[in-house]
Structure 1
Amino acid sequence: EQRNYGIGAQILNDLGVHQFKIITNNPRKIAGLKGYGLEIVDRMPLLIEANTYNSDYLSTKAQKLGHLLLQSYLGTLALLWAEPLPSAQRYAKVNALREIAHGVGLLLQEEARSIAVSLFSPQALIINLGLAEPVEHDWYQNSDNKYRCAIAALLEQLIQWPDLEELDLLIANGTDPFTTLQVGLDRQIFSWQSPVFDDQLSTQRIYSFSRHSIND
């Protein structure tokens, strides 16, 4: 990272801007701008959709360049509404999800790889939840683990969304769950208010919550 942010800092100073929020995943950019006496009051993550073509690139940026992208995968969520969402509404939902995830200390990355779409649904909004640092591979087995509690808190908020019909959760052990999928995943179906986190969690299982009756 040899870029110089002096020109950008000078433009902001010329405009009289000394405090601002920044949209970036690059901590070196933040440090570079702070070096010119600017105050960054908040960082907004730059949402990047992971797909078949860029997943390795994003992983390299996180591991080699320190970008604040997912280095550890905690789980994947697939959200389904009664009707497909228009693009504008879908974008708004992603932003709302990002705010909730940020509030419980998690990073969010939208997922668009064909393997994820095939596993869940073409109509689903699919996101990965994770961290910018390593995590123990058995984190999900401890009921008091802070990341498990964070996901539980996130789910508690999502089931309050009146227009959401179905919510699927796939737990990950820190690695990209779509690189280790087994054939014939288990699916455990719960009613909308079921406390799944009272049970022992496992990978290779989809925890599915639906507003519909289990017998529907």
Structure 2
Amino acid sequence: MPLNVNQLRSFYAAAKSVSITKASEELMVTPAANTAQVKQLEENLELRLLFRSGNSMLARYSPNHKKLRMRLMGLQEITLVGAGRKSTLLQRDEISVAELGNVPLIAPIAGSAVREIIFDYLAQFKVTPKVVIETDSIALNKRLLEQDKGVAFLCRDVVREELSETRLREIRVSERMPSLEYGIGYLNRISLSEASSAFIEMIKNA
């Protein structure tokens, strides 16, 4: 069966929300229908795209995969956020990377793109993160942050609402923060179909 835009849309929604259920609600289809679309896409590409971790679905890929060609779509700004009620350090307008070694960090689980980016960033400054909790759940991460259990590096779009409502606050870091690149991968042996091209345009305009 050839690729179609519904397969791509189902995968994109599941990867973005890390949940088949949430993706199904967004697309207004049943979870079974959404799962079937993703499975069909995986069969067509001969690649496993989604991996289950607890109650979440993670989208993973290797940028060096010989069958795949990657196309950069954009950048997500990563920011340091927390409640900052308990720590006088986090109540300051700005802190340095070196000081982050003394701050409890709520970190993504191993395999997360954000984790790899942030841990590499801290390593450049010879800072060992003080990880207190690891989670792949954005919802749990936000609850822990609001309870002042630590700080977390998250994409700004993920916490835009919490920042605007001052439930969380952005903690500015003196040194330049990294960004998360995101893109789309497709097989080297095929040209992009009309559906795939439409999908890319949909993401660009989202």
TM over 0.5: no
**Structure with the larger helix share:** 2
Q: Under a length normalisation based on structure 2, what TM-score does the superposition of the two structures give? A: 0.27
